[in-house]
Amino acid sequence: MNAYRWSELHTGLAHSFSVQLTPAMMQDFLHLSGDTNPLHLDATFAKAAGFPDVVAYGMLTSALYSRMVGVYLPGRFCLLHGIQVDFSNPAYVGDWLTVKGEIAHLNDAFRRIEIKASIEKGEQVISKAKIRVGLNER
């Protein structure tokens, strides 16, 4: 886990990591969220809706933004203030997703970090996010 201090942060500082979506993640998120929508559970339903297979929960993939800020950027002293996510494409079980984050702005007065982040599958963007975090270093 990273543990960036304010003095070590700068605009453009970036981190990334990759994760493969597994059936176990889908099961865990189903139990966690209680979202029983068939688009995420029933392949027949998903195909009838025009998708090749059940669609991974958007909020499951977005949970990876939590890892980005809590573990990588800024890591240990992160305090999540807010996040805005826009979904561009569906993700599926078995996909390898790359999560990218880069500091877009540092507000010195309130020690607020603004991070532009994305989740990508190869060349395809799954989602983009603007993440606002504080640095709770003591």
Partner 1 sequence: MSDILAELQPIFRDVLDDPALQITRQSSAATVANWDSLAHINLVSAIEQEFHIRFSLSELAELKNVGDMIDLMEQKLAAK
Provide φ and ψ at 15, rounded to 5°: -140, 160
Q: Does 107 bind partner 1 (CB under 8 A)?
A: yes
Whole-number CA gyration radius for the chain: 16
Q: Does 132 bind partner 1 (CB under 8 A)?
A: yes
Closer CB to partner 1, residue 43 or residue 80?
A: 80
Among 76, 114, 116, 128, binds partner 1 (CB under 8 A): 114
**Contact present, 128 and 48 (Cβ < 8 Å):** no
Look up residue 92 and give its two tokens: 């599926």
Which residue from 88, 30, 19 is spatially nearest to 57, judged by alpha carbons?
A: 30
Binding mask 16-35 for partner 1 (x = CB under 8 A): --------------------
Binding mask 37-76 for partner 1 (x = CB under 8 A): ----------------------------------------
Which residue from 81, 82, 83, 85 is spatially nearest to 134, judged by alpha carbons?
A: 81
- In the complex, the residues that contact partner 1 under the rule CB under 8 A are 81-82, 104-105, 107-110, 112, 114, 132
